[in-house]
Amino acid sequence: MKQLTYSRRHFMHQMGAASVVLPGLSVLSLQSCGGKSDKATAESASSTTTTEGSKRKLGIALVGLGQYSEGQLAPALEKTTNCRLAGIVTGTPDKAEKWKSKYSIPEKNIYDYKTFDKIADNPDIDIVYVVLPNSMHAEYVIRAAKAGKHVICEKPMAMNAEECQQMIDACKKANRQLSIGYRLHFEPHNQEMMRLGQKETFGKINRIVAENGQVQDESSPWRLGRGVGGGGPVRDVGVYCIQGAIYTKGQIPIAVTARKHPVTDTEKFSKIEEGMDFSLYFPDGTIAACKASFNDKYNKLRAEAAKGWFELAPAYAYDGLEGRTSQGKMEIENVPQQAHQMDAFANCILQNKPTTVPGELGKRDVQLIEAIFEAARTGQKVSTKDVVQVLDKSALMS
Ligand code: NAD
Tens digit of pLDDT for each residue in 116-140?
999 999 999 999 999 999 999 999 9
Q: Which residues line ligand 1 (CB under 6 A)?
A: 64-69, 91, 131-134, 154-155, 181, 183, 220, 222, 227-228, 236
What sign does the CA torsion over 200, 372, 362, 296 have?
negative
First to last CA, the chain: 19
Name which of 53-67, 362-376, 383-397 the model is least confident about.
Answer: 53-67
Which atom of ligand 1 is the closest one to the Cα of 69?
26
How far is ligand 1, taken at its centre, from the CA of residue 103, in Å?
20
**How far is it between the farthest Cα atoms of the chain?**
63
Within 8 A by CB and 6+ apart from 104, the residues are none
Within 8 A by CB and 6+ apart from 360, the residues are 20, 22, 168, 388, 390
Is 240 an annotated catalytic residue?
yes
Atom 18 of ligand 1: nearest residue by CA position: 228
Which atom of ligand 1 is the closest one to the Cα of 228?
19
- Residue 331 clears pLDDT 50, i.e. is over it: yes
Superfamily of 34-183 according to CATH: NAD(P)-binding Rossmann-like Domain (3.40.50.720)
Res 398: pLDDT? 75
- Residue 12 clears pLDDT 50, i.e. is over it: no
Q: How many Å apart are CA 45 and CA 39, to the nearest integer?
A: 10
Domain boundaries for CATH 3.30.360.10 within the chain: 188-334+359-397
Work out the pLDDT band at 371, boundaries 50, 70, 90.
very high
| Coil, helix or strand at residue 308 | strand
Residues 36-45: contacts with CB within 8 Å, 24+ apart?
Answer: 36/81, 36/82, 36/340, 36/343, 36/344, 36/347, 38/347, 38/351, 40/347, 40/350, 40/351, 41/351, 44/350, 44/351, 44/352, 44/353, 45/350, 45/351, 45/352
Q: How many Å apart are CA 395 and CA 199, to the nearest integer?
A: 8
Relative orientation angle of helices 161-173 and 137-146, to the nearest 10 degrees: 10
Q: Yes or no: say if 112 and 119 are a contact pair by the CB < 8 Å rule.
A: no
Domain boundaries for CATH 3.40.50.720 within the chain: 34-183
The verdict on pTM exceeding 0.75 is yes
Q: Yes or no: say if 392 and 247 are a contact pair by the CB < 8 Å rule.
A: yes
Looking at the structure, give the CATH architecture of the domain made up of residues 188-334+359-397.
2-Layer Sandwich (3.30)
Is 155 an annotated catalytic residue?
yes
Q: Yes or no: say if 185 and 276 are a contact pair by the CB < 8 Å rule.
A: no
Q: Yes or no: say if 312 and 193 are a contact pair by the CB < 8 Å rule.
A: yes
Peptide bond before residue 253 is cis, with ω within 30 degrees of 0: no
| Number of CB atoms found within 10 A of residue 350's CB | 25
Res 19: pLDDT? 44
Res 121: pLDDT? 98
Which atom of ligand 1 is the closest one to the Cα of 134?
32
Res 77: pLDDT? 98
The residue to mutate among 63, 65, 67, 68, having the most atoms of ligand 1 within 8 angstroms of its beta carbon, is 68
How far is ligand 1, taken at its centre, from the CA of residue 89, in Å?
13
Per residue in 232-290, pLDDT tens?
Answer: 999 999 999 999 999 999 999 999 999 999 999 999 999 999 999 999 999 999 999 99
Within 8 A by CB and 6+ apart from 367, the residues are 161, 164, 384, 386, 387, 388
The residue to mutate among 67, 151, 187, 226, having the most atoms of ligand 1 within 8 angstroms of its beta carbon, is 67
